Structure 1
Amino acid sequence: MPNLLIELFSEEIPARMQAGAAENLKTLLTNSLVEAGLTYAGAKAFSTPRRLTLAVEGLSAESPTIREERKGPKVGAPEQAIEGFLRGAGLTRDQLEARETPKGAVYFATVQREGQPAEAIVAQALEATVRNFPWPKSMRWGSGSLRWVRPLHSIICLFEDEAGSRVVDLEIDGISSGDTTEGHRFMGSGAFSVTSFDTYEAALKRNHVVLDAQERADHIWQDATNQAFASGLEVVQDKSLLAEVAGLVEWPVVLMGQIGEAFLELPPEVLQTSMKEHQKFFSVQNPKTNRIERFVTVANRETSDNGATILAGNQKVLAARLSDAKFFWENDLRVAKAGMDAWMRQLSNVTFHNKLGSQAERIERIAALAKDIAPQIGADAAQAEQAARVCKADLSSEMVYEFPELQGLMGRYYAKAAGLSDEIAAVCQEHYAPLGPSDVVPSAPLSVAVALADKLDTLTGFWAADEKPTGSKDPFALRRAALGVIRLMRENQLSLRLERFIEMQLVRHIAQLSKSLSQDDIAGGEAVQADGLPKVSKDLMGFFHDRLKVHLKDEGIRYDVIDACLANEIADDLLLVSQQAGALERVLKTDEGANLVQGFKRANNILKQAEAKDGVEYSYGADPKYAETEEEKALFVALDAADVTIKDALADSGFERAMTAMAQLRQPVDAFFEAVQINVDNEVLRRNRLNLLSRIRSVCGQVADLTQLEG
């Protein structure tokens, strides 16, 4: 079967766009070919800084002829309807056939779509793909209308079958397809022709171009680690930087250089960030001291001096960059050693949000909440308040202004320079965490207290200001903050009644909003008022519950199980809800648990029907002296025992024990329903048995609201 080779050769494509563009080329083109009726065995996409390449193997030579029957309007339908059907099918009136159907005579037409050669389909598909390519950013050049990420120079579109290879003719904005390309911009030997993917890839390599981005990345990493190992050092792993650098070069040449002695005492994170962000250098550290001592750069060409000139130039530029970093570091240390008061004063002039005040006002709120939370989780309240007041001081530092991604980390260095304890210094770095689902969660009580306060202040603030997430839009990362609170509580086994702290912080925000907003804004619904606090608190807890459902669903717990556990008085304790949901999920996977739920639902349905019919609530008064059968008496005994066990277990958050005790009711409940009729003529017996069903509902309902369970 034929093969297809496509190359789109242009000026340099930004590294961050290459992988996505290669995948888009493959998806768009192969989808178009399949829609046109072609099949293929496999497709691979490649990218380099100057080209996107697609190789399709086992392409069918032509699309099949397709015959399909279409049902049209009824015989006698308005002429306009018949003419519209004919136009859509590309037929004339004499090609219609009238047939009798259960709904009367209807016109039918047989439409035949002739097959096309694969080359014609490829030409149409490639032109459409190029003209409508989804670049994040694109440009026009010259007088043409084509938009591409950078000026497009040439197109290879080569069809290869048993008869040999031939160019698929097409022209896009004055660029005609061909079978020639170029190698490396500096080391290549000029234009050359290709006849297949194999000759194309081999010729590129002879012309100093490695087509496969993964092969380039592997070569860079292997060579860098080998050079570092030879010097007793190791390269700091950075997958995102490796992928980016592999997209900057077609022929990677790895060079290792020295960092000036004057910069070696800079914090390793500063060195690493500065070299990565500005120079795209890898950091090389001494494994014994963790000090960064050298760097690795990747050139795009070989030189006669083995890269000495390139390395000298890079070291000169790096020295200038690191001189700036050293200047920031030394200036910041002077401020930190003076106590960081100057930085904290500056935060009064930094707006956090126009409705929620300055960063300084925000810090005051966080400090107050951290002080409230600390005793509940085993942290010192005074230390929590102190840590919260300094945890964001580094936002005013010169280093964080230059490298915002170092916020928190630099705060830790500066807090230690200010003479604060290691625990408070750790808070400065750790209170931002977790920032994502895979981020490490802090475990030190002081850090946890401030991290919870920080996230709860953010959430309550934006809820108070009526700036909640809508749909997929979440500009203030409030979903991430809620998930952070959930993970902090669950992974540190913290049992906290959140609603109390939410309401505390909402009160503080209302005070802030009354200063930030006019009375017209407040009255117009721009922010919550004091009398609306319970509603806002409940709404925010609902947001936490939605995030918790997603989090627990990822762990394999069903939504209805989570809902059953949220419908109780501990719903604002996210740890207990999680533990309860996990225990219920496990019990429901047993025969006893699943069958008990069916018995519970049966009891509940009978009870609801009787209560609706009689207009009363059967919720107390079941008396064992009216029990007639052994099964009925046994159920009274079993419910009394289970009630005591479940109450004791729940008092100690022993959800497993409580669930097990509930599941053990399966046998007496099943036996009761098999032996006893509820709705008997004797009204005393009927009422007693209905009250006994109510007892089943109340005893099991202590564990979770089983009415929420599906099935």
Structure 2
Amino acid sequence: MSRDILFEIGLEEIPARFIRAAMEQLQERTVKWLDGARIAHEEVTAYATPRRLAVYVKAAAEKQEDVSEEVKGPSRKIALDAAGEWSKAALGFARSQGVEPEQFTFKELAGVEYIYATRSSAGVETAALLPEALSGIVSAMTFPKNMRWGAYEFKFVRPIRWMVALFGQEIMNLEIAGVKAGNVSRGHRFLGTETVITEPAQYVESMRSQHVLVDVQERQELILNQINKLAEEKSWTIAIKEDLLEEVLFLVETPTVLFGTFDEAFLNIPQEVLITSMREHQRYFPVFDAAGVLLPFFVTVRNGNAVSLDVIAKGNEKVLRARLSDAKFFYEEDQKLQISDALAKLETIVYQEELGSVGDKVRRIRRIADILAAKLQTEDQVAAEVSRTADICKFDLVTQMVGEFPELQGTMGEDYARKAGESEQVAQAVFEHYQPRFAGDLTPSTEAGAIVSIADKIDTIVGCFSIGIIPTGSQDPYALRRQAAGIVQIVLDRQWALSLSEIFAAALEVHGNSPRAKHSGDELRITLNEFFGLRVKRLLSDKVRYDVVDAVTASGFDDIVAVVGRSEALMAAVNGKADFKITVDSLTRVSNLAAKATAQAIDPALLKEAAEVELYATWQKLHAPYMEALASRDAETALSVLSGLKDDVTGFFDSVMVMAEDEQVRANRLALLAGIDRDSKAFADFGKLVW
């Protein structure tokens, strides 16, 4: 026999950004408890709206499964004393398992006899377990922020106002923070009323009758269908940003899409400003024509039905008009500000207490960028663009527009720089130096933007590391991991011959021996190398197997482009060449013996056996083209050349005694293997591959 379970927590409005994670957490904790409590069940479904979190369990068993398990005790030798009586150890084991010693059985395990006890327990009724279990699940839930209310010590994301807790038609005896569970839920705040849930399976339809769509997927599909229908009717392109859709999804219980307009005069403002104002401040979806040009319309989602949509639209238009009027004022006022005046104001803005002002940071960025441009041997014009971009890259931070819309930093800098007469390349680079802003974002398209982006990011990382701000666990307040990943991605995308150590050196040179530094330069290099190593490994893990990542990074990752090339070539060889395992096995065997080498030099006169002479000759022949291929980052060719050693290595091990009695011969053979091993380790540590 089985019954359905329904548990709904009714709350004051939950912040939209918390809801999906809370819903998934409730589902996961419920499944974990059911499985751990040995209660058979079918699917477990979670529901959520701004005012409720709910979980529905289909066909949960009426009682726990009975359990019978065999527990191993001490060995027979310990369990019985010299007289054949049960020892204290055996009696203690019997007490701990709740059995009599006469119930012991003996079983042999790995040649030794042990005593075993069979422990049985009958399953408890599910109805008796649920109240305490659900109370525990709720208490264990975690949120970015919690609240307390009334005189209760209990904390939750928002105050609990009602609960529905049903096992079949039976109401569970459950109370949390003064709220007693029942079978009455609440509908839409304005369109619905209270409703009695008589059966868990009726929950979705009962709530629908009260203008609440509890199914998140259904609600999302309804929003998208309405938006797409409107777009088709109006011949619009409505930009649906995933994070905005997610937020709107958890702001409504009954979604109804509507549109409004704004004055075309506002279109003189850069469309990024209008889009940001609509999305970030009003939760509106912007509207474009077929060519991607912003139109004077917006789309929003009402938490209610289609009654009086014209009135709702007018209200939204009024609010948006005020927002856009502010933006227009800020935009016009900002254009009166000279870039030189803006740069002077940066001296008054604290970047970080121990790292100085934003003006100090800009000067560091300029110096680092100039060093990197010299390393890359850029043309004089590009070097000049790098310097100018670095000088003005942060000037828009003091503008009114960025003060109102911080997410527009860089965007406004590009626009204002262009209007101030800066070159197109510099204006674009001012925007691009923030890229990539997040995982999957574009990297800078201009060389100046890419160089200044790296300079900005490495300055932040080295500056923070030098004063002891190093990410630990989930704590990364300055987004240093993201910035390191951005540096790696830029170098890779541009295929630059710019090593991580060169980037570190540029930043460390600029930061110098600052009295605020809590770590020496050598300590910082080690920490930076470890930190960036993890970023490189994460990048590689998206492309190749974990063991390939371990193998190639063991040979170094200073040259990001080279290590990616080596990983891809090695992955292709592992997947596509049936005989490649022979190469790997031979090189691994070489490596194992090479570890015993004490000498580096090889004396050809001491090579006596034909197989070792042939191996030495082949290695000498392949060494130069192999190293040339590595130097030119032609990993596929390098691996192919290295694989040319496998037959001679196999022949060597088949016919030559490496650990010869003659000490000189032995040392010479080990030195030969050590030389081959050094070459192979320049590509990867093949011993880390898993077959």
Q: Tell me, which stretches of 5 or more residues in structure 2 are unaligned?
A: 80-85
Identical pairs, percent: 32
Deviations 1:632-688 (A, max 9, x none): 443343223212322433343333222211101111222233233445567776666
**Contact residue 184 and residue 197 of structure 2 kept, 8 A:** yes
Taking a change above 3 Å as real, the CA distance of residues 239 and 602 of structure 1, as seen in their structure-2 partners, is closer
**Contact residue 43 and residue 57 of structure 1 kept, 8 A:** yes
Taking a change above 3 Å as real, the CA distance of residues 469 and 31 of structure 1, as seen in their structure-2 partners, is closer
Taking a change above 3 Å as real, the CA distance of residues 32 and 186 of structure 1, as seen in their structure-2 partners, is same
- Aligned equivalent of 1:663, options 615, 632, 643: 643
The residue identity in structure 2 corresponding to 1:546 is L
Q: Secondary structure at the match of 2:440?
A: coil
**Contact residue 39 and residue 60 of structure 2 kept, 8 A:** yes
Deviations 1:599-655 (A, max 9, x none): 34444554554x56xxxx15222149x6453x4443343223212322433343333
Taking a change above 3 Å as real, the CA distance of residues 627 and 489 of structure 1, as seen in their structure-2 partners, is same
Q: Which residue of the partner structure matches residue 24 of structure 1?
A: 25
Deviations 1:507-533 (A, max 9, x none): 22126x34xx4xxxxxxxx434xxx43
The residue identity in structure 2 corresponding to 1:122 is L
Q: Secondary structure at the match of 1:475?
A: coil
User: Where do residues 119-268 of structure 1 align in structure 2 (5 Å cutoff)?
Assistant: 119-143=127-151, 146-160=154-168, 165-188=169-192, 190-268=193-271
The residue identity in structure 2 corresponding to 1:187 is L
Taking a change above 3 Å as real, the CA distance of residues 456 and 236 of structure 1, as seen in their structure-2 partners, is same
Q: Which residue of the partner structure matches residue 621 of structure 1?
A: 603
Rounded Cα–Cα distance in structure 2 between residues aligned with 1:693 and 1:303: 80
What displacement does 1:318 show? 1.6
Q: Which residue of the partner structure matches residue 396 of structure 2?
A: 394
Q: Secondary structure at the match of 1:59?
A: strand
Q: Which residue of the partner structure matches residue 641 of structure 1?
A: 621
Moved more, 4-13 or 236-245: 4-13
Q: Secondary structure at the match of 2:444?
A: coil
Q: Which residue of the partner structure matches residue 550 of structure 1?
A: 538
Q: Secondary structure at the match of 2:342?
A: helix
Q: Secondary structure at the match of 2:336?
A: helix
Q: Secondary structure at the match of 2:57?
A: strand
Taking a change above 3 Å as real, the CA distance of residues 151 and 588 of structure 1, as seen in their structure-2 partners, is closer
User: Where do residues 694-705 of structure 1 align in structure 2 (5 Å cutoff)?
Assistant: 694-697=674-677, 700=680, 703=683
2:608 is aligned with 1:595: no
What displacement does 1:58 show? 1.7
The residue identity in structure 2 corresponding to 1:350 is I
The residue identity in structure 2 corresponding to 1:10 is L
Taking a change above 3 Å as real, the CA distance of residues 229 and 679 of structure 1, as seen in their structure-2 partners, is closer
Q: Which residue of the partner structure matches residue 527 of structure 1?
A: 518
Q: Secondary structure at the match of 2:445?
A: coil
2:568 is aligned with 1:582: yes
The residue identity in structure 2 corresponding to 1:596 is T
Moved more, 500-509 or 240-249: 500-509
Q: Secondary structure at the match of 2:624?
A: helix
Q: Secondary structure at the match of 1:58?
A: strand
Taking a change above 3 Å as real, the CA distance of residues 596 and 141 of structure 1, as seen in their structure-2 partners, is closer
Rounded Cα–Cα distance in structure 1 between residues aligned with 2:682 and 2:119: 67
2:410 is aligned with 1:413: no
Taking a change above 3 Å as real, the CA distance of residues 178 and 628 of structure 1, as seen in their structure-2 partners, is closer
**Contact residue 351 and residue 357 of structure 1 kept, 8 A:** yes
User: Where do residues 371-382 of structure 1 align in structure 2 (5 Å cutoff)?
Assistant: 371-375=370-374, 376=376, 378=378, 380-382=382-384
What displacement does 1:349 show? 1.1
Q: Which residue of the partner structure matches residue 432 of structure 2?
A: 430
What displacement does 1:20 show? 2.2
**Contact residue 73 and residue 116 of structure 2 kept, 8 A:** yes
User: Where do residues 262-411 of structure 1 align in structure 2 (5 Å cutoff)?
Assistant: 262-288=265-291, 290-302=293-305, 304=307, 306-335=308-337, 338=338, 340-375=339-374, 376=376, 378=378, 380-411=382-413
**Contact residue 96 and residue 108 of structure 1 kept, 8 A:** no
Q: Which residue of the partner structure matches residue 82 of structure 2?
A: none
Provide the TM-score with structure 1 as the length reference: 0.85
**Contact residue 256 and residue 294 of structure 1 kept, 8 A:** yes
**Contact residue 235 and residue 282 of structure 1 kept, 8 A:** yes
Rounded Cα–Cα distance in structure 2 between residues aligned with 1:106 and 1:600: 46
Q: Which residue of the partner structure matches residue 5 of structure 2?
A: 4
Q: Tell me, which stretches of 5 or more residues in structure 1 are unaligned?
A: 518-525
Taking a change above 3 Å as real, the CA distance of residues 698 and 205 of structure 1, as seen in their structure-2 partners, is closer
Q: Secondary structure at the match of 2:615?
A: helix
2:54 is aligned with 1:53: yes
- Aligned equivalent of 1:674, options 633, 647, 654: 654
RMSD over aligned CA atoms reads 3.4
Q: Which residue of the partner structure matches residue 500 of structure 1?
A: 502
Q: Which residue of the partner structure matches residue 62 of structure 1?
A: 63
What displacement does 1:111 show? 5.3
The residue identity in structure 2 corresponding to 1:113 is S
The residue identity in structure 2 corresponding to 1:26 is Q
Rounded Cα–Cα distance in structure 2 between residues aligned with 1:704 and 1:10: 56
Q: Secondary structure at the match of 2:214?
A: coil
**Contact residue 16 and residue 247 of structure 2 kept, 8 A:** yes
What displacement does 1:444 show? 1.9
